[in-house]
Structure 1
Amino acid sequence: MSSTKRQESPTASRRANARIIAPVSRPLRVAGALAVVAGLIWPIQAAALAWAISGWVSGDTSRTGAAVLIFVLGGVLRAGLEHWAGGYLFDAADRTITRERAILIGREARARAGASSAEIAALIVQKLPLLQPWITRYYVAMVRVAVLPLVLLALTFWHSWAAGLVLLIAGPLIPVFMALVGMAAEEASRRQMDEIGSMNAMLMDRLSAMLDIRLLGATDRTVADFTDRAETLRIRTMAVLRVAFLSSTVLELFSAIGVAMVAVFVGFTLLGAIQFGSWGTPLGLGEGVFLLLIAPEFFQPFRDLAAAWHDRAAGLSVVTDLDALDAAERVGFLGGADATAPLAGPLALTLAGAVAALAGRNVPLPDLRLCAGEALALSGPSGAGKSTALGAIAGLVPLASGRISVCGQTLDDDTADAWRARIALIPQMPHFPDQTLRDWLDPDERGANPWPALHQAEAEGIVRRLPGGLDTRLGETGGGVSGGEARRLMIARAILSGRELILADEPTADLDPDTAAQVIRALIRLKDDGHSLIVATHDPALVDAMERSIEVLA
């Protein structure tokens, strides 16, 4: 079933309400009640104002003080009630967004789905905040539109059946057209949300490949791709705005016609040109002014609902993305990612008949044995499973079958955290958190001097060249250092951590021969110092530098 059909179905709408609205239903009900009470104050203010105006015309100014007092007190009370209701609404929205964001981050950190990190980031940062207008505006608008127009309609009929009939005919037409336009609004919003996620994914993909793009002279093509995608997003955004403007135009048309007809009726009645429309007694100035004041307010809840209808459409699109991510197949890592003491026993690693369980497929892993102090290279074509093998060895990829033994014990949920306490991972794509190099190089906070490790990794000059030295904060992907420099910094970090087994994923990929040679020398020094090494690589020079190699076949 397409996401569009899911979104438009009553079942999908009920699921969205159960997920987003139901957990905060109590504060929404309180806010709705406060908003209704605030709306019911306006007829009292309108009556006071009409009473004062009729007195001015008749020459009785004694009513002015009381009318002004009622009007001002009513305005202050309305403002206070609306502010109180807003506090409930925004607190409910903040709690909902915080809850969904925590669920997403916690789940994706433990078990990634097939969606790219850019799409997930777009959902967390750009799309989830779109739930706020839905929560803060739509529910209250629905409550107000269910109560206030009926009350105002009853008051209008009390004074004039003709004016009441005008509002009765004009009012229901608005929800009908809103529902028709709303279906198009939901589809347009869904397309816009999809395009936002796709554009973010494209951006992250191109940024990660920027060096290759420049080397291949493909910058013009990349700019053209971004231009096309931006134009698509602009078109889909404009489609949402067109629907919004269309619904607003329909609403304002019927509102204007309804208010104008009431005004014409009141005006001609007061001039004596119309002798019908009231309940026996002709309308007086006070009644006419009162009807003119409450007629626009009759349509205001519909205006609010029309604006909130598009917020609901955007919110449903976000929930559709959340539901799709919930249903995505994912693979979690072993253990609880908790700090613990290193696994006891001499370092030993064995893979026997192991098959890694990835999302949607299984990947056979090579059989191997590794003892303390050995250096092993995993070679083979791209996609054969070298990186997957490193992930499985680190307990980051579970097994569908077979066994991985570490230090004489089975690698499972009970031993994974302790086993990882003896491992340092050097990924192909370095990641630098928002902290100083000094803190990053010392992940276990042992307070060790980082300079010997930097010297051993041939990274001492890199740090000295940085403006802040060890106090420098690199960008997330290592802005300020090259790819080879980032990997040497990671080797220094591995040295400083004291971990016995080093897992390196393509440590010389995309490096020039001189830089690759520096990385290889740093890895050999690790091995000479007693560390065990497993590297996944295509680089023949790195394979030759290891004691033995295993070819991983697809």
Structure 2
Amino acid sequence: MQTRIVGPVARTLRAAGFLAVLSALIWPVQAGAIALAIDGWVGSGAGGLSVPAAAATVLIGGAIRAWLDFRAGGLAFDAADRTIARERDVLLRREARARSGDGSAAIAALIVQKLPMLHPWITRYYVAMVRVSVVPLVLLIVVFSISWIVGLVLLAAGPLIPIFMALIGIAAEKASRRQLAEIGTMNGMLMERLSALLDIRLLGASDRVTRDFERRADALRNQTMAVLRIAFLSSTVLELAAAIGVAMVAVFVGFTLLGEITYGTWGVPLTLGQGIFLLLLAPDYFNPLRDLAAAWHDRAAGLSVVAELEEADRADRIAFVGNGVPGQPLDGPIRVRVSGATVDLSGRVLALPDFDVSAGEAVALRGPSGAGKSTTLAAILGLVPLSAGQIDVCGRRLDADTADDWRSRLSVVPQKPHFADRSLRDYLTPRPDADVSIADALTLAQACPIVDRLPDGLETRLSESGGGVSGGEARRLMIARAVRMDGDLLLADEPTADLDPQTAAMVIDALKGLKAAGKTMLIATHDPALIAAMDRVVTVSPQNMDGETGA
């Protein structure tokens, strides 16, 4: 699990850890200079160091440590940024090519809120691991060379920190996972409620939705407080262990210098300089252990994120056919032929109807909701791979070699309106070299009055779901965009769904205009009025989905 995160940046993290160790090992030199200066100043040591020399040593050492810490931090942050960027890129590319069953809110929460939680894990935990494996051992050797009792005190107190850290870390990781799950639930709920906001207001359910949000927010707050409680508890326990260790060293040094304790050194009385040196080293012995303990919570949160990433890796996905890049329009007269085709939707095998669509035809896919009309359109678009059978387009088999070129000949009107964050003029220009002007496309789609009443006309920016226009107006704008795509075959998915009869009639008239202009159309719908406007009908049955034509 950790190899996935650390492996690609291991070299950078090793360099950061090495610089951090060098920085930590400068302190014994500074502490020795301070101890010698005080020893000489008091007059109890013949080899004392002058105050200016000690000050210079401390200042130079401090400057070097600051630079080393700066470089180590820069390397660690660079490793973290690269790791998060890599994982984010993997998620975005994979979701764009092969979506899983997770909703967009869950994916957005993972990308925007959870991936950044890897940052403190990478920048703190791995550097702390390198320091804790070197610095305490070096300091123990130095301390043992002066006093075996102080060495034993530190050796006994030091392991208490990792032990408590491991025990509390188990609870911390569980609490972090519960918190992450609650964040995903909160985001999913938010997206669902926002998408249904108009219905919620029409049904008078605003108060109920508000109460639901309050309950979810309280649940998230409780999970967050649980993580914080564990963090504060572990901090208290670890600080207590370090404080006891430093206090015992201070007691030993104090009573030894007073002459009350006459053992604990290697046959030579403890000098004032040595005692001060031991007192200065004792807290620094615990610092790497305390840093590791603090970073252990970051590790717990990071492992929870990695667990979600690996769960996303294992999720069933449906990848589209082709590379998803612009291609050259496929040669040959427009024609679609579906024969014996089935798709596997996460374990559910769905048979598609057998039918043909030739140039200039207007064909309706009719069937109850859930029968497979949208799936049939998606398969013809190459957005759903076949598990059996085949689809022929322009006389060639639709596969990875032809899918991108085939999509270059299509215009699409999706079931749900979607507008990018750009001006309506840019939205209506999917192809810079389109033969049809924006004005002609709007006229054909009967959408000129829509643009005329917008505050900024073609420079207006609509919301993602078309806020600022009605559902029927949004669909007519999408039809205008499809006209500007200048595809030889128009695929439309339920273009009159959820519209009142008058608005639906305007959309149907716009599609009739495209039909009169000679466009080939394949439209999934259960609207009798739209079906009547088509040349023929293919019935999609949820049982066997055999093709059937009619008037």
The TM-score with structure 1 as length reference comes to 0.93
Task: Spell out, residue by residue over 1:49-81, the C-alpha distance to the aligned partner (whole angstroms, 9 max, x if none).
Answer: 122222333399971110000000000000111
Note the C-alpha offset of 1:133.
Answer: 1.4
Structure 1 pair 127/62, CA: closer, same or farther in 2 (3 Å)?
closer
**Letter in structure 2 aligned against 1:45:** Q
**Letter in structure 2 aligned against 1:542:** L
**Letter in structure 2 aligned against 1:146:** S
2:96 aligns to what? 109
1:149 aligns to what? 136
Task: Spell out, residue by residue over 1:202-247, the C-alpha distance to the aligned partner (whole angstroms, 9 max, x if none).
Answer: 2222222222222333222222222222222222222211221121
**Letter in structure 1 aligned against 2:416:** M
Q: 1:56-455 maps to which residues of 2 (within 5 A)?
A: 56-58=41-43, 63-446=50-433, 449-455=437-443
Paired residues of 1:439 and 1:445 also in contact (CA < 8 A): no
In structure 2, distance between residues paired with 1:212 and 1:148: 63
Paired residues of 2:31 and 2:277 also in contact (CA < 8 A): yes
Paired residues of 2:153 and 2:248 also in contact (CA < 8 A): yes
**Letter in structure 2 aligned against 1:455:** T
Paired residues of 2:33 and 2:49 also in contact (CA < 8 A): no
Structure 1 residue 21 corresponds to structure 2 residue 9 = no
Match of 2:456 among 439, 461, 468: 468
In structure 2, distance between residues paired with 1:59 and 1:183: 51
2:517 aligns to what? 529
Greater Cα offset, 69-78 or 275-284: 275-284
Greater Cα offset, 444-453 or 116-125: 444-453
Partner SS state of residue 364, structure 2 = strand
Percent identity, aligned pairs only?
63
Structure 1 pair 62/287, CA: closer, same or farther in 2 (3 Å)?
closer
- Superposed CA RMSD: 1.9
Partner SS state of residue 535, structure 1 = strand
Structure 1 pair 285/37, CA: closer, same or farther in 2 (3 Å)?
same
In structure 2, distance between residues paired with 1:212 and 1:380: 26
In structure 2, distance between residues paired with 1:377 and 1:205: 31
Paired residues of 1:118 and 1:201 also in contact (CA < 8 A): yes
Task: Spell out, residue by residue over 1:257-310, the C-alpha distance to the aligned partner (whole angstroms, 9 max, x if none).
Answer: 111121222222223333332223332221121111111111110111011111
Note the C-alpha offset of 1:29.
Answer: 1.1
Task: Spell out, residue by residue over 1:329-352, the C-alpha distance to the aligned partner (whole angstroms, 9 max, x if none).
Answer: 211111112222212222211212
In structure 2, distance between residues paired with 1:305 and 1:131: 16
Note the C-alpha offset of 1:399.
Answer: 1.0
**Letter in structure 2 aligned against 1:54:** D
Paired residues of 2:84 and 2:116 also in contact (CA < 8 A): yes
Structure 1 residue 549 corresponds to structure 2 residue 537 = yes
In structure 2, distance between residues paired with 1:224 and 1:548: 50
Detail structure 1 runs of 4+ shifted over 6 Å in the superposition.
59-62
Paired residues of 2:322 and 2:403 also in contact (CA < 8 A): yes
**Letter in structure 1 aligned against 2:370:** G
In structure 1, distance between residues paired with 2:258 and 2:161: 31
Q: How many residues align?
A: 539
Partner SS state of residue 159, structure 2 = helix
Greater Cα offset, 322-331 or 371-380: 371-380
In structure 2, distance between residues paired with 1:97 and 1:78: 28
Greater Cα offset, 70-79 or 391-400: 391-400
Task: Spell out, residue by residue over 1:355-380, the C-alpha distance to the aligned partner (whole angstroms, 9 max, x if none).
Answer: 12222222111222222222222222
Task: Spell out, residue by residue over 1:477-533, the C-alpha distance to the aligned partner (whole angstroms, 9 max, x if none).
Answer: 233333222211111101112112111112122223332222222111111111122
Task: Spell out, residue by residue over 1:433-463, the C-alpha distance to the aligned partner (whole angstroms, 9 max, x if none).
Answer: 2332222211111265312211222222322
In structure 2, distance between residues paired with 1:467 and 1:49: 74
In structure 2, distance between residues paired with 1:189 and 1:58: 56
Note the C-alpha offset of 1:177.
Answer: 1.0
Paired residues of 1:334 and 1:413 also in contact (CA < 8 A): yes
Task: Spell out, residue by residue over 1:396-444, the C-alpha distance to the aligned partner (whole angstroms, 9 max, x if none).
Answer: 1111112212122221112211211111111112222233222221111
Partner SS state of residue 399, structure 1 = coil
Structure 1 residue 32 corresponds to structure 2 residue 17 = yes
Paired residues of 2:161 and 2:290 also in contact (CA < 8 A): no
Greater Cα offset, 74-83 or 240-249: 240-249
In structure 2, distance between residues paired with 1:121 and 1:183: 27
Greater Cα offset, 414-423 or 61-70: 61-70
2:27 aligns to what? 42
Structure 1 pair 271/428, CA: closer, same or farther in 2 (3 Å)?
same
Paired residues of 2:442 and 2:480 also in contact (CA < 8 A): yes
Structure 1 pair 58/483, CA: closer, same or farther in 2 (3 Å)?
farther
In structure 2, distance between residues paired with 1:477 and 1:278: 78
1:8 aligns to what? none
1:457 aligns to what? 445
Paired residues of 2:431 and 2:484 also in contact (CA < 8 A): no
In structure 2, distance between residues paired with 1:485 and 1:51: 84
Greater Cα offset, 473-482 or 239-248: 473-482
In structure 2, distance between residues paired with 1:191 and 1:92: 27
Partner SS state of residue 158, structure 2 = helix
2:505 aligns to what? 517
In structure 1, distance between residues paired with 2:360 and 2:526: 22
Paired residues of 1:329 and 1:360 also in contact (CA < 8 A): no
In structure 2, distance between residues paired with 1:327 and 1:206: 28
1:496 aligns to what? 484
Paired residues of 1:488 and 1:522 also in contact (CA < 8 A): yes
Structure 1 pair 72/499, CA: closer, same or farther in 2 (3 Å)?
same
Structure 2 gaps of 5+ residues are 543-551
Paired residues of 1:335 and 1:417 also in contact (CA < 8 A): yes
